[in-house]
């Protein structure tokens, strides 16, 4: 009896498929864990960037410290005694003026504050109407105005009258510690002298 070869091949294919299905079923019942996609790692970088702190405003300059009245006198464009007014400053005496200055006793000058952004601005005092002071001033190159040297360093409050009037630094920390030489023991404690002594040092500066 002749056997149809095509029918035989079909039967073998069917048998092979049945055996393969049985083998897969047996593997699943054995508890083996089929290959799975790897779980996402907890160490994967986050797609959300951590916000950074807002950058502080740029510093526009640093204050120079002064150790002596002589240093102030040598640096200042103008050293004057007078009274702070509601608008400006009345000059009662010029202790020293740079060459070419036209400021004289009786004049009124305009004072300006330090530029915004300068360190320690929050610790500076304010000149208020009625205060009698000696000021060590720098002239503004762009306008006919003046500002005190390094803020409070350039301000001495006066009390009394005449050459013996007491001159006291406005600030204890931002203050000189001597007339012609620094006194380390006095640094940070303010400085007190007389108007006469301020005049003498100013006169010695060329």
- CA 15 to CA 27: how far, in whole Å? 19
Structure tokens at 60: 């526009």
- CA 165 to CA 197: how far, in whole Å? 10
Domains within the chain, CATH numbers bracketed? 59-204 (2.40.50)
Mean pLDDT of 29-38: 45
pLDDT over 50 at 190, yes or no: yes
Q: In this predicted structure, what is the pLDDT of residue 9?
A: 56
Residue ranges in 30-159 assigned as alpha helix (H): 69-75
- CA 122 to CA 42: how far, in whole Å? 47
Structure tokens at 26: 């047996």
Structure tokens at 41: 């790692």
Q: In this predicted structure, what is the pLDDT of residue 166?
A: 98
In whole angstroms, how far apart are CA 184 and each of 70, 178, 179, 190? 16, 9, 13, 12
- CA 11 to CA 138: how far, in whole Å? 110
Q: For the chain, state the CA radius of gyration.
A: 43
What are 74-98's pLDDT values in tens digits? 999 999 999 999 989 999 999 999 9
At 9 the three-state DSSP class reads: helix
pTM for the full model?
Answer: 0.68
- CA 206 to CA 202: how far, in whole Å? 9
């Amino acid at each position: 009896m002749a056997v149809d070869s095509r029918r035989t091949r079909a039967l073998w294919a069917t048998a092979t498929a049945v055996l393969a299905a049985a083998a897969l079923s047996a593997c699943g019942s054995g508890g083996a864990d089929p290959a799975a996609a790897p779980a996402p790692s907890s160490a994967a970088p986050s797609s959300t960037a951590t916000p950074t702190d807002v950058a502080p405003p740029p510093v526009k300059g640093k204050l120079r410290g002064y150790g002596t009245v002589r240093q102030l006198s040598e640096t200042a464009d103008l050293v004057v005694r007078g009274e702070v007014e509601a608008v400006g400053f009345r000059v009662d005496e010029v202790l020293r003026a740079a060459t070419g200055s036209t400021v004289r006793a009786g004049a009124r000058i305009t004072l300006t504050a330090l530029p915004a952004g300068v360190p320690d601005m929050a610790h500076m005092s304010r000149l208020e109407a009625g205060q009698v002071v000696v000021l060590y001033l720098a002239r503004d190159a762009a306008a006919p105005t003046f500002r005190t040297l390094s803020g409070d360093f350039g301000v001495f409050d006066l009390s009394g009258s005449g050459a013996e009037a007491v001159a006291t630094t406005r600030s204890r920390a931002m203050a000189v510690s001597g007339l012609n030489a620094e006194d380390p023991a006095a640094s940070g404690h303010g400085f007190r002298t007389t108007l006469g002594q301020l005049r003498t040092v100013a006169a010695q500066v060329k």
